[in-house]
Structure formats: structure tokens, C-alpha cells
């Protein structure tokens, strides 16, 4: 499931979770603390067999991220005799006087098969102003036991932790399946610790490998905001995940045949681009997911960064669609990193992620572009205009894409796309505005490229 590329300064060569969660009817639990108290936990415990009194969250602390959001973290301790899958918690806000600052927040935590005596990180992300806030407390309302399914194992290896130019902790690694059976990796979390082993912060991962065949490996990456002074404090990291035995994936794509990497570049804003195209070779429409891993060299002993690409609208049978992987971590936020990697003979591996790749019967058709305008200045191409649904029925998803090709040889040099702002469904005749910015390779003359725009919509 891989497509390998070596870098010498240039390019060389719905599956559902197996462990289904028990549905809990809590009588309309809301955000307010009073509503949570009405959940009748004793009755629920009798049903799910999880003793809340034996589970705790300790070391709770918090800080404000650069975005303005509150990050609340702590350590989940399973003092019970059974493995735990999920916690329902209330993150309460208090003033200095000990009164409620606001309504608090209901947060689900999923330690995923947290075994007796084990620990896992707790994290909550609250994005709002909280007037009068002095401190947080985390209360556990309910818990759910881990399902007794057959579990496999995965190894996390070849990892790296670095603080980028924006002060984010970028933690990358690869997940390897050493067993003889395919596995499904449930939700993954990363945590970083100080030199004493105390938890600094934790977050769910940005790039996650979900399904692995025996002997296969794939990337995992997390970008973590740090508290003030946290860049100097962090010393170690750890990934938390649970692997369950899963039926073999029937992959509809061969990355060595159906995925082509065309080029890579760093734009004028310092962002890394991996440009390519993907082809649907089958007779049915296809949702597809790609993951790219950047290794420090061809030995693939250290994962430096990872990014992914997911189709918003299915690929039609036989369709070839360009892609541009841009959502990187360290490569986007560490000046000079790629130049150093290129000198080290860095390697890129592209794999297809089976969890988000499956055939569908979709109704995808072209939409009408209108009133378009474009400009190409300072290393970027700007496109705007309108899209009209001229189909006979409503659409629930829409995508505008542009491909920029060299006039001299037709080679693709850049691509980009944007989704239409459809909240529910767009009726026939409905019109949407679009705006699209594509950052060009720095060595490309805008006068020497020709853009081609398309719009497609998906009907229910």
C-alpha cells in the first residue's frame, strides 16, 4: 500500500469501529452542571458495569492557546479491575469565590481499552471567553467498559519530537503492525511530558493511520500547542492507541499504479507542497484517502513529517484528479528544514489509507461556473466567481478545482480546490460564491501557465 519516492533535492523515481460503544440514555444531558447531575449514574453503572468511583483524573491544569482556546489536560487513572473504553466528564469553570463561572462543558474522553492500573491523558478544548474564570475542575459522570473484542498490537517507532518556529510541538512517528492479522487502530492521542515525567499537554492526532495489514506501516502526526515556557520544558512524548483485529481490507487502489507524484516545492509563504494526481481505475465511484510520510533519509529511520489528502467528492470511475498535500507540521513551520532534508537524501512514502477509501454509488456531475475573475501576483494565483447548480436536482456537496499547467509542455505545476458553502442542500438554480488561492512554485512564471477551472456537485 505504498508508493516510495527518494529526494535528492528533487523527485526521483465506512468501516465502523469494531468496538461499538454502548448507547447511554441520560435523560437529555446538557452543558449545565445541573443537567449532568440528572443522569442517574447509579442506574447506568448497573448496566455498563463500570465503577466511576475507581476512576480518577488527576494533575488537572490548563493554559490558553495562541488561538484563544482553553486547553485543559490531566491524567486518567484506572483504579478499577476492568478495562475502560470511554468517560463522560464535566469540565467545570469556577471563579475565585468558588462559584460557577459559566455553564461548563460536557467532554467525552476515550482512553480506549485503558487497562486496570494504567494511565492515559485527558484533554478538553474550550473555545470561548469565560468571564471571571479562576480555575477548572474535571468531574467524571459516567464510564463505559472496553468491549471484549480480539485485540492485536502495534508498534510506534522511528519517532521525532521538535518545536517548530510557531512554538508548536510537532510529534511524528510511524505505526507498524508486527502481527499476522490485519488491525484497526482506534483513535490516537499524543502527549508530551517534562523532564520529571509530568504531563505538559495532550491532543488527538492530526494524521492517523487506521488500518494496517500484517507487516505494514503508516504515519502518525500530532501538532500540540504548548503553555508559556513549554518549549523548554518538554522532554519526552508518547502515543496512545488501541488496536483491534480487523478483516483484511479490499483496497480499490494500487498506489504504485494509481497514484502519481508530480513534483514538490516550497511556496513564498514557506509552505511545503506535494503535488500529484490520483486515478480511479474501477467501474464504481470512489472515496479515497492518501497519506504521505517524509523520512529524514532513505533508511526511513526517522519520521520528520506527515500529511494526508481526502477526497471531498467521490472520484468518478476512470477519473484522474490532481492533489496537493499542504497540511504539514514541521515542514510548514520550520524555516530551512526541507533544504536540510533534501541534502540528506530524504525519502517520501505515499500510502493509501483503507479506512477512508471505499467504492460508492454516487451521483456526481458538473456544475456551471459564472462571472469568473483571476489574478496572478507575488507567487500566488487568485480565482473568484460564482457556481450555479444547473442540475435537475439538489446537491449536498460541491467542489471548485483549478489546475495550472505550463503553456510550453502542459505539465501540471500547481493545483487547488475549495468546497462550496452548502449547509444542507442546494436546490436547482441556486448560486454560490467561491474564492480560491493557489500558491505557485517560486520558479514558475505566472505568465507561462494556463489555469483550468472545474466545478462538480454531488447529488444525494
Mean pLDDT of the chain: 89
Report the share of the chain in percent with pLDDT over 90: 85
On whether both 124 and 66 belong to a single domain, the answer is yes
Query: pLDDT tens-digit profile of 251-285?
Result: 889 999 999 999 999 999 999 999 999 999 999 99
Is residue 233 included in any domain, yes or no? yes
Range of the domain at 233: 155-245
Burial zone of 452 (CB within 10 Å; 0-12 exposed, 13-18 middle, 19+ buried): exposed
Q: Which of 4-13, 90-99, 300-309, 358-367 has the lowest mean pLDDT?
A: 4-13
Q: What are phi and psi of 89, to 5 degrees?
A: -125, 160
Query: pLDDT tens-digit profile of 415-435?
Result: 999 999 998 899 999 999 999
Is residue 60 included in any domain, yes or no? yes
Is residue 14 included in any domain, yes or no? no
On whether both 48 and 134 belong to a single domain, the answer is yes
Residue 170 has pLDDT above 60, yes or no: yes
pLDDT of residue 24: 25
Query: pLDDT tens-digit profile of 206-230?
Result: 999 999 999 999 999 999 999 998 8
On whether both 165 and 137 belong to a single domain, the answer is no
On whether both 371 and 411 belong to a single domain, the answer is yes
Query: pLDDT tens-digit profile of 42-55?
Result: 444 433 589 999 99
On whether both 141 and 167 belong to a single domain, the answer is no
Q: Could you tell me the pTM of the whole model? A: 0.88
Is residue 171 included in any domain, yes or no? yes
Query: pLDDT tens-digit profile of 335-387?
Result: 999 999 999 999 999 999 999 999 999 999 999 999 999 998 888 999 999 99
Match 485543559 to its residue by C-alpha cell: 72
**Alpha-carbon torsion 380, 383, 384, 390, what sign?**
negative
Is residue 322 included in any domain, yes or no? no
Last residue of a domain, one of 95, 118, 145: 145
Last residue of a domain, one of 193, 225, 245: 245
pLDDT of residue 317: 95
pLDDT of residue 19: 33
SS3 (DSSP) at 221: strand
On whether both 372 and 448 belong to a single domain, the answer is yes
On whether both 169 and 232 belong to a single domain, the answer is yes
| Mean of pLDDT values over 189-201 | 97
Match 533519509 to its residue by C-alpha cell: 297
Report the share of the chain in percent with pLDDT over 70: 90
Last residue of a domain, one of 111, 145, 179: 145
pLDDT of residue 454: 97
Is residue 262 included in any domain, yes or no? no
pLDDT of residue 33: 33
Give the Cα separation of 50 and 81 in Å (integer): 9
Give the Cα separation of 393 and 378 in Å (integer): 41
What CATH number does residue 381 fall under?
2.60.40.10
Strand order in the sheet with 380-388: 368-377, 380-388, 431-439
What CATH number does residue 97 fall under?
2.60.40.3230
Whole-angstrom CA distances from 81 to 27, 54, 156, 235 are 28, 9, 27, 32
Give the Cα separation of 450 and 135 in Å (integer): 56
Is residue 253 included in any domain, yes or no? no
On whether both 380 and 444 belong to a single domain, the answer is yes
Which residues are bridge partners to 71 per DSSP?
63, 125
On whether both 93 and 176 belong to a single domain, the answer is no
On whether both 371 and 449 belong to a single domain, the answer is yes
Is residue 19 included in any domain, yes or no? no
Here the cell at position 405 is 499547467
pLDDT of residue 150: 95
User: Nearest to residue 286, comparing CAs of 322, 252, 332?
Assistant: 252
pLDDT of residue 65: 95
| Spatial contact of 204 and 120, defined as CB atoms under 8 Å apart | no
User: Nearest to residue 152, comparing CAs of 213, 61, 196?
Assistant: 213
pLDDT of residue 5: 55
Which residues are bridge partners to 204 per DSSP?
189
Residues in the chain: 460
Residue 36 has pLDDT above 70, yes or no: no
pLDDT band at residue 172 using 50, 70 and 90 as cut-offs: very high
Which residues are bridge partners to 250 per DSSP?
none
Give me the number of domains the chain comprises.
Answer: 3
Strand order in the sheet with 155-163: 155-163, 169-176, 217-224, 207-208
On whether both 190 and 87 belong to a single domain, the answer is no
Give the Cα separation of 348 and 10 in Å (integer): 11
pLDDT of residue 187: 81
Match 511530558 to its residue by C-alpha cell: 193
User: Nearest to residue 323, comparing CAs of 415, 401, 246, 237?
Assistant: 415
Which residues are bridge partners to 385 per DSSP?
434
On whether both 222 and 122 belong to a single domain, the answer is no
pLDDT of residue 251: 86
Amino acid at each position: 500500500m505504498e508508493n516510495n519516492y527518494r529526494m535528492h533535492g528533487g523527485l526521483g523515481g465506512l468501516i465502523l469501529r469494531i468496538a461499538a460503544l454502548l448507547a447511554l440514555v441520560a435523560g437529555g444531558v446538557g452543558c449545565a452542571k445541573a443537567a449532568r447531575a440528572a443522569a442517574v449514574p447509579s442506574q447506568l453503572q448497573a448496566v455498563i458495569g463500570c465503577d466511576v468511583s475507581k476512576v480518577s483524573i488527576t494533575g488537572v491544569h490548563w493554559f490558553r492557546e495562541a488561538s484563544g482556546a482553553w486547553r485543559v489536560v490531566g491524567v486518567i487513572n484506572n483504579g478499577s479491575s476492568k478495562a475502560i473504553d470511554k468517560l463522560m466528564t464535566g469540565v467545570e469553570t469556577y471563579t475565585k469565590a468558588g462559584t460557577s463561572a459559566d455553564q461548563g462543558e460536557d467532554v467525552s474522553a476515550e482512553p480506549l481499552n485503558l487497562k486496570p492500573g494504567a494511565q492515559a491523558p485527558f484533554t478538553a478544548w474550550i473555545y470561548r471567553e469565560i468571564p471571571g474564570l479562576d480555575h477548572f475542575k474535571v468531574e467524571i459522570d459516567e464510564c463505559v467498559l472496553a468491549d471484549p473484542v480480539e485485540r492485536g498490537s502495534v508498534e510506534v517507532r522511528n519517532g521525532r519530537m521538535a518545536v517548530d518556529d510557531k512554538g508548536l510541538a510537532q510529534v511524528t512517528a510511524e505505526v507498524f503492525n508486527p502481527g499476522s492479522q490485519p488491525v484497526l487502530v482506534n483513535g490516537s492521542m499524543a502527549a508530551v511530558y517534562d523532564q520529571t515525567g509530568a504531563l505538559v499537554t495532550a491532543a488527538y492526532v492530526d494524521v492517523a493511520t487506521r488500518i494496517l495489514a500484517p507487516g505494514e506501516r503508516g504515519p502518525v502526526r500530532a501538532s500540540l500547542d504548548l503553555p508559556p515556557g513549554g518549549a523548554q520544558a518538554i522532554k519526552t512524548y508518547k502515543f496512545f492507541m488501541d488496536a483491534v483485529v480487523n478483516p483484511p481490507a479490499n483496497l480499490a487502489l494500487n498506489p504504485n499504479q494509481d497514484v502519481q507524484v508530480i513534483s514538490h516545492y516550497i511556496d513564498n509563504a514557506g509552505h511545503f507542497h506535494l503535488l500529484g494526481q490520483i486515478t480511479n481505475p474501477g467501474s464504481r465511484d470512489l472515496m479515497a484517502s492518501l497519506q504521505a510520510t517524509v523520512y529524514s533519509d532513505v533508511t526511513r529511520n526517522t519520521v520528520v513529517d506527515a500529511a494526508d489528502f481526502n477526497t471531498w467528492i467521490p472520484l468518478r470511475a476512470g477519473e484522474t484528479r490532481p492533489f496537493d498535500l499542504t497540511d504539514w507540521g514541521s515542514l510548514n513551520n520550520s524555516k530551512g528544514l526541507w533544504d536540510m532534508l533534501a541534502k540528506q537524501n530524504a525519502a517520501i512514502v505515499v500510502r493509501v489509507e483503507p479506512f477512508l477509501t471505499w467504492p460508492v454509488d454516487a451521483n456526481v456531475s458538473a456544475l456551471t461556473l459564472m462571472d469568473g475573475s483571476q489574478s496572478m501576483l507575488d507567487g500566488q494565483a487568485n480565482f473568484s466567481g460564482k457556481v450555479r447548480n444547473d442540475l435537475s436536482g439538489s446537491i449536498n456537496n460541491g467542489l471548485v478545482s483549478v489546475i495550472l499547467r505550463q503553456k510550453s509542455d502542459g505539465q501540471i505545476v500547481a493545483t487547488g480546490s475549495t468546497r462550496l458553502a452548502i449547509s444542507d442542500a442546494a436546490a436547482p438554480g441556486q448560486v454560490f460564491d467561491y474564492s480560491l488561492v493557489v500558491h505557485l512554485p517560486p520558479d514558475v512564471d505566472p505568465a507561462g501557465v494556463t489555469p483550468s477551472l472545474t466545478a462538480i456537485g454531488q447529488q444525494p
